[in-house]
Chains A and B, each alone.
Chain A
C-alpha cells in the first residue's frame, strides 16, 4: 500500500474553523479515543498498542514512548505523575506551538489516555512562558474539558479521576531538559539532576513520573483510534509513523510539513519551493541547533532516527533550519554558541565555562581577530567539554561547533585575518518575507 508524501493527521484540523474549540474537535471524532481507552482497554493494553505502534519520543531523544510508560513502577505507593513537555525552545523547533494553538484538545485527549496507561491522576502541561496565546488556548481547552466532565472527578462518567494543571515557565531553554523541567515545576531554578534515579522512579516530588513531549502525547489518540498497524503503515521499520517537520530559513515556503518518517530533505525542500531563486543550499540543521549540521551532500538522507544517525547527526526535533551560500558559518556558529552560553544553567563547570570561552574565541574569529591555532583551540575546548555534564546542553554546542568546523574549516581559519562580514556581507543573507518573491500553492504543487 503506497502512502502519500504528506500525511496530515496531527495537523489535519489546523485549517478548520475554530479548531481549538471542544465542540469542533468532537465533531471530527475527538475524545473517541479517550472513551475507548477508559472503557474498553486496560492500562496494559494501552501500553501494548503504543509499544506496538513504534511511537518514539518526538522531543529529540527518540525513546520509545510505550516503553517509557512501562517503566513506571506500579508497586510504588506514591502518586504517579505525567508531565508534558511543551517547553519548545531548541533553535529551529517550531512545531508544538502551532499544534497546541490549533488543536489543544488533541493534547488533552492524549493526556487522558497516557494517564490511564500509567495510572496517574495528576498531569501537568509545562509550557514555555513566552508563547502567551498557546497558554490561553491550553488553559481554555483544559477548562472546557473540566466543564464537560472529561477532567476532574469521575471523568466521562467513569470512576477515574484526573486533574491537569497548565503551568507557564519563565524563560529558560534548559527547562526543556526533563529533569530541569521537574526542578522548575517544583518551584526551583531549572537545573538538571544527576541520573539515576530516573524520573520514572523518582521524578516530580520524588515520585514516579513520565515526561513526554507534546507531539508524542498528541500522537496517541490517533494510534488508539486507528491501531498500531495503521500507524506502522507510515514511516520506516524502526522509525514508524509520521511526524511534523519544520522547514525554515532561505526557502520559498517555510513551514510545517507532516510526513512519514524517512522523507528526505530533498523532498521537503521541493515542497518548500526550494532555496530562494539565484541561491543554493549551504548547510542545514536536521533536528535543531544541537544536532550536527549537514550540507548539500546529505540531501537524500532519510530523515528518520536511523538515517540521520548514519549520516553523523541526530533527527532531534526535525527542525530543518536552512541557510544558503550567502551565510557565514562562523557567524551562525557564534550565534548558536551565544545562545547556549545564555542558556547554560551554570550547574556544571565544563558547560558554564566552556560556552563562555568558546564564545570569546568565536567572536574573535568573526571579527577577523583570531589567532593562529584558534580553530584547534575550539576543538580542544569542545573535547574537554563533551560528555562531562549532567545533561546534554554542552554536547549540543559541541555538536554545533565541531560539525561546522568539519565542513567549513577554512572559513574559521579565515577568521585569523578577515572579518566574516567581509567574506560574507551580512546584508546579502537578509531575507525579509515581504521581499520574498511570491509563490502560490498551485505553483508549488505543479512543480
Chain B
C-alpha cells in the first residue's frame, strides 16, 4: 500500500458513533409505534417507519430510541442499530431544524452542484454531516435524488428545490433564517426535518394538496405534444358485440 497513499477503510467510522442524548420519546409516540406495527403482517416490517418516527422526536436515532424499538419488536438493540446505521436518512448526530441536501452525483456535480455545496458550506459555516451551533441547519452531500431533469438539485427536509443557482440558494437560506414561508418548487410549504420525518413514518401532515400536479421539466414533452397535437393512438375499432356505451 505504500506509495499510493490510499486511505484507510475506516476513515468514516466516527459517523456511526452512538447518541447518548436522552430520548424525548413518550408513551404517545410508543403508542404510535404500535400503530405502525399493526399495519404489517409481521411487526418487524415497521422498523424503518418506527425509526423515522423516532427521528421526528429526537432529530436523530438516539440510543434510547433504539432500545424502545428493540423492546417493542422483540429484537436486539444490535439488530436495530444494524438497520439504523445502514440507511443514510437515519442520523447519528442531531439534524438541524432544516436539513439541507445538495446533490453531487455526476450530472448535478457537473452542472453546478459542486459549486453549490462549497457555497453552502461557506454560507452555513459547517462541513458536510454537521449541524450549525444554533441547531438551525444541517448539511449533507446527496447522492442522486431522482430529479436530474431539474439539475442542479437541492433538497430542504426532503422537498425539491429544483434548478438551483447560487443566487437562488443564497436567497433560500436567507429566507429560512428569517423564518419566512418557503415553498418547494414541486411540493409544499417547507416545514421542518422533524415534521417531514413524521410524514415518512406514515402520519400525514395534510399538505398533500399543496403544490402543482407537475411543473417545469416534467412537462417538457407533454407541452410539445399539446402544441403539435400528438396523442397516444386511438383505440382500434373491433366489431362491436353488443351495443355498449358510445
Contacts and interface: CB of A to CB of B under 8 A. Distances in A.
Nearest to B7: A360
A226 interface: yes
Contacts of A5: 228, 230
Interface residues of A, number: 116
A8 B222 contact: yes
* Range of interface residues on B (Cβ < 8 Å): 35 or more
A140 B202 CA distance: 11
B182 interface: no
Interface stretch (B19-27, B48-56, B127-135, B173-181): B48-56
A357 to B, nearest CB: 8
Contact of B144 (A11, A21, A339, A431): A339
Nearest to B184: A133
A140 B204 contact: yes
Contact of A129 (B86, B142, B200, B235): B200
B100 interface: no
A137 to B, nearest CB: 5
A33 to B, nearest CB: 13
B146 A88 contact: yes
Contacts of A139: 199, 202, 204, 208
A360 to B, nearest CB: 5
Interface stretch (A44-52, A165-173, A378-386): A165-173
Interface in B107-122: 107, 109-112, 114-115
A132 B233 contact: no
B86 A189 contact: yes
Interface string B162-176: 011111100000000
Contacts of A16: 213
Interface of A: 1, 3-9, 11-21, 79, 88-94, 96-98, 101-103, 122, 128-133, 135-137, 139-140, 143, 165-173, 184-190, 205, 222, 226-227, 229-230, 233-234, 242, 245-250, 253-259, 271-272, 289, 319, 321, 323, 327, 331-332, 335-336, 339, 342-343, 345, 356-357, 360, 364, 371, 426, 429-435, 441-442, 444-445
Given A230-B236, A249-B111, 9 more contacts: A101-B213, A129-B52, A130-B145, A170-B48, A250-B111, A256-B217, A258-B222, A319-B148, A360-B4
